[in-house]
Amino acid sequence: MQLNTDPSPQHSRNHSVDALRGIASLAVCWFHLTNGNPSFLPAGPVRTSGSYGWLGVEVFFVISGFVIPYSLQHKGYKVRQFGRFICKRIVRLDPPYVTVVFLILLLDQLAMLVPGFQGTTGSPSLFRVLLHFGYLNAFFGYEWLNPVFWTLAIEFQYYLMIGLIFPLIVARSHCKRFGLILGLLLLSVGITNSSLIFHYLSLFCLGMLALQFKQKLIGPTIYVLASVCATTVAWLTLGMMPALVGVVAAGIIAVGLEFKGSLFVFLASISYSLYLLHVPIGGRLINLGTRFAETELERDGVLFIALATSIGASYLLMRLIERPAQDWSARIAYDSRRRSASLARSFDVKTQPARADV
């Protein structure tokens, strides 16, 4: 089944993906706010409510396994356009990322001026900072400035891989598609380095299988059997909870289960910005609250302020940086006809709607 290669924004949106993205980002945020500082909240319902929020990362990997090849097929991508694809991803994702890197450096300096500051003094080395621009910190043994950045490194490795293997994912040949999924799952078992994409390939495969099912490249029986295999590998390599969350997320995408409501739309729109900002913004407020809030009510108040501030800052980052980056990325087309249309759109000063393209 061939997709429309020039879909309208309405056609290209996948509302189940959008909702999952928003929920996953909020879950990771809540996890770090409630559990990131062990001395902030005592053991209890509030802290427990966020204890599994880290599983939002697994949901993101499943989403990427689906949405990137989905978008590539919509756009008529060919492997010869690999460089343009990577350029589009960098233009789309790096402006908010780089903005947050510099914001963290600024906040580090400002934090040292706060009375009662208890953190480490000094600035990170220039080399450590520069490694962030290639997502290379883990390969050189340097910590990330933001603990969530490791997942962006995994995602970038995925982009490098998917741009090359995409034709096999949507191939007409059953042997090519099955061979690819089998090969990726074997790599997931054989290469266990958590700094590399291979360790998480079972989750990405669940997303790819959801795509193949929605595109009618595989039927329900094959989809279920292949998903069981991918889930088993995820269970063996990542654990029970990541495997279960991954297969449920993929199933929601595959059947097109939609979450209605403006809240989901809003969370989806700020999901990437919230993912980037909740630790440097909300996490710092939590650390500050640890020193000044004494009662349980006061700490719950700090938690609410940290969440609200993170969401507000994320909305600003989305409007000021992320949304323009989406427009810039959309203007990098895959063929001359699309480039001409994009050039014409570049003279249109009206704000374009948020896009789900690559």
Per-residue confidence band for 237, with pLDDT thresholds at 50, 70 and 90: very high
Q: H or E element: which one contains 279?
A: none
Arithmetic mean of pLDDT, 241-269:
92
State the number of CA atoms in the 13 A half-sphere of 33 facing the CB: 28
d(CA 133, CA 92): 14
pLDDT at 144: 97
Average pLDDT of every residue of the chain: 88
Arithmetic mean of pLDDT, 313-338:
89
d(CA 20, CA 252): 9
Closest CA to 312 of 332, 285, 334: 285
For the cut 50, the answer to whether the pLDDT of residue 47 exceeds it is yes
d(CA 280, CA 237): 30
Arithmetic mean of pLDDT, 285-298:
86
Per-residue confidence band for 348, with pLDDT thresholds at 50, 70 and 90: very low
Tell me if 156 sits within 8 A of 86, measured CB to CB. no
Per-residue confidence band for 2, with pLDDT thresholds at 50, 70 and 90: very low
d(CA 40, CA 33): 9
pTM, entire model: 0.89
Q: Which residues, in sequence order, are CB contacts of 152 under 8 Å at separation 6+?
A: 93, 97, 135
Tell me if 259 sits within 8 A of 15, measured CB to CB. yes
Arithmetic mean of pLDDT, 244-262:
91
Q: Which residues, in sequence order, are CB contacts of 125 under 8 Å at separation 6+?
A: none
State the alpha helices, DSSP H only, in 170-261. 174-190, 201-214, 220-238, 240-255
Arithmetic mean of pLDDT, 128-134:
96
